[in-house]
Amino acid sequence: MSSGNEILYIKGEKNTEVKEPNVTLGDILTMECSNSSIMNRIKPLRILKIPKKEQHRYVVSILKIIECIHREIPGLQIQNEGESDLIITYEGEKKRNAIWQGIKVVVVAGITFIGAAFSIMAFNNDVSVTKMFSRIYLLLTGEESNGFTLIELTYCIGLIVGILIFFNHLGRKKFTADPTPMEVEMRLYENDIQETLIEAYARKEKEVDVD
């Protein structure tokens, strides 16, 4: 059977990290073809050679990838099921420093805790929560509140429970399989960054594309 009758299905993610400077199609694509020998010929094809000295980021057009494949197997039918532009990030081998990682976690957690506490206190002050609770307590019991009553206690417990339910997280444990609001926002932010990067490379003509 000739290669002209075969169809190669390829799929590339919008952002792929690679550890080796010689980037092959097998590193950035998932492939499917009824003829396994075709995939064995395509996967080792090099699409980029990246200098090792520093971190690099490239944007590669799917047309450049198709051109690379056709140079190896002319006439092969290719069906792209993935992105039209691929971001390839080369970071090389990184040595993880457990102590430094721990310090960063503690610093970020501390900043987040202080910021969240300040926001809650500012909100409580803006809406006069203390005065409101005192009035409610006076209406219900006929006595003046000392600021440490069942109303304040249930408010604090409810605040903690509400935060846990909203963020769907307690440590590494998730209450449901749904992504958390933070994960959703991070994914949207990541998509915006990737789209901006692709547009910037295309505008500056830095994208690896066909001539």
State which of 69, 90, 111 marks the end of a domain.
90
In the chain, % of residues over pLDDT 90: 42
Residues 177 and 149 in one domain: yes
| Interval 136-164: pLDDT, tens | 888 888 888 887 888 888 988 988 888 88
Residues 113 and 139 in one domain: yes
With b meaning 16 or more CB within 10 Å and e meaning fewer, what string describes 172-187? eeeeeeeeeeeeeeee
Residues 61 and 156 in one domain: no
pLDDT for 1: 45
- Whether the pLDDT of residue 25 is over 70: the answer is yes
| Interval 127-137: pLDDT, tens | 888 888 888 88
**pLDDT, mean of residues 92-107:** 83
Q: Give CA 25 to chain center in angstroms.
A: 23
State which of 45, 68, 90 marks the end of a domain.
90
SS3 44: coil
Residues 76 and 132 in one domain: no
In which residue are the tokens 């450049």 written?
64
Residues 131 and 84 in one domain: no
Number of folded domains that form the chain: 2
Range of lowest pLDDT (69-78, 92-101, 103-112)? 92-101
Q: What is the mean pLDDT of the chain?
A: 87
Give pTM, 2 decimals: 0.70
Residue 87, H or E segment: strand 85-90
Residues 146 and 176 in one domain: yes
Residues 172 and 104 in one domain: yes
Residues 120 and 82 in one domain: no
Residues 11 and 84 in one domain: yes
Domain hosting residue 7, numbered range: 3-90
**pLDDT, mean of residues 106-113:** 90
Residues 153 and 82 in one domain: no
For 181, what's the count of Cα atoms within 13 Å in the CB-facing half-sphere? 6
Residues 177 and 110 in one domain: yes
**pLDDT, mean of residues 30-35:** 92
Residues 6 or more apart whose Cβ sits within 8 Å of residue 182: 167
State which of 73, 90, 107 marks the end of a domain.
90
**pLDDT, mean of residues 26-31:** 94
Residue 208 lies in a domain: no
